[in-house]
Amino acid sequence: MFWTRLLSSIILLASIIVLGVAGGLPLLLGVAVISIVGLFELYRVLDMHRSGLAVLCYILAAIYEAMIYTSGLTLIGAYVFLSMLALLVLYVFTYPKYRAVQIMGAYFGLIYVVFMLSFVFLVRVMPGGQHLIWLIFISAWGSDTLAYCTGMLFGRHKMAPVLSPKKSVEGAIGGILGAALLGVIYALIFGNELAVFAQPVLSVGILCGAGGAISMIGDLAASAIKRNYEIKDYGDLIPGHGGVLDRFDSIIITAPLVFFLVMFLQIVVR
């Protein structure tokens, strides 16, 4: 099991590095595939993955990816409205085939998985994005690894005993501080490439620390959904890790945070 998980991690990390370096259409297609697979996994948990409602959402997800490739976030308001309109049209004209809770679940999936993950691509196309994109993974996966190590060594106080009994307050602190430290090291190495920040070391340290903290919310939120539906994993696509949502649950919420913090820190930290 250990070697399977390790091999999967290496292949996954190598794939992300290749796509992140390439940027552009290859990265967008990678994000689109991950998003639609993740959407399928979530809808399977909700027992609607093969319904006409789900098929409509897969199409809406593909349309959204095409929109951000051509227009970035310019048309996001229109997409939010039109995707809701499409779901309501289906709801009304097929009534009573679908229940209101299914329509709400379908829309939640589009925002939670497709919209949130799209910020991986949107960070990459920002000025300096070829280096900013890695802050997402430093914040999410770096903090997760360091929180695990710190928790194993020093964990005493449970952070969310009902939801995730193995996570500790000490581990969370270690993960946040560890992510901030990794960010500082990254900025010291690539400071000249992070000219979007007036003070790269301070800005990236703050960003990765905040990203590490919020990534834990993403992880716990995904765990809460699984507990609500009494499942262990979202899928088994990635050997040793589970499904796409099991591996990218923290990325889902960290990517948008990094996008907005980059803009915020450019203004605040001078």
* Predicted local confidence at residue 4, as pLDDT: 73
How far is residue 257 from each of residues 115, 212, 264, measured CA to CA in Å? Answer: 13, 10, 10
The encoded tokens of residue 180 equal: 């901030």
DSSP 191: G
Query: Please, where are the H alpha helices in 46-128?
Result: 52-71, 76-93, 100-109, 116-124
Give, for all 270 residues of the chain, the pLDDT tens digit. 556 776 888 888 899 999 999 999 999 999 999 999 999 999 999 999 999 999 999 999 999 999 999 988 888 999 999 999 999 999 999 999 999 999 999 999 999 999 999 999 999 999 999 999 999 999 999 999 999 899 888 888 888 888 888 889 999 999 999 999 999 999 999 988 998 998 999 999 999 999 999 999 999 999 999 999 989 889 888 877 789 999 999 999 999 999 999 999 998 887
pTM for the predicted model, two decimal places:
0.93
Please, which residues have CB within 8 angstroms of residue 47's CB and are 6 or more apart in sequence? Answer: none
DSSP single-letter state for residue 50? T
Domain regions of the chain by residue span: 7-125, 128-270
CA 97 to chain centre: 32
Report long-range pairs for 97-106 (Cβ below 8 Å, ≥24 apart): 97/52, 98/51, 98/53, 102/46, 102/48, 102/51, 102/53, 103/53, 105/43, 105/46, 105/48, 106/43, 106/48, 106/53, 106/54, 106/56, 106/57
pLDDT of residue 1: 58
Tell me how crowded residue 221 is: count the other CB atoms within 10 A of its CB. 15
Peptide bond into 127 cis (omega under 30): no
The Cα angle at residue 67 between residues 47 and 80, in degrees rounded to 5: 55
Kindly report the backbone phi and psi dihedral angles of residue 234, in degrees, each rounded to the nearest multiple of 5, phi listed first: -75, -25
Q: 């581990």: which residue's tokens?
A: 171
Give, in order, the Cα–Cα distances in Å from 248 to each of 21, 55, 207.
19, 22, 19
Q: Find out whether 135 and 208 touch, Cβ atoms under 8 Å.
A: yes
Question: What is the pLDDT at residue 270?
Answer: 73
Contact (CB, 8 A) for 159 and 172: yes
Joined tokens for residue 25: 């259409």
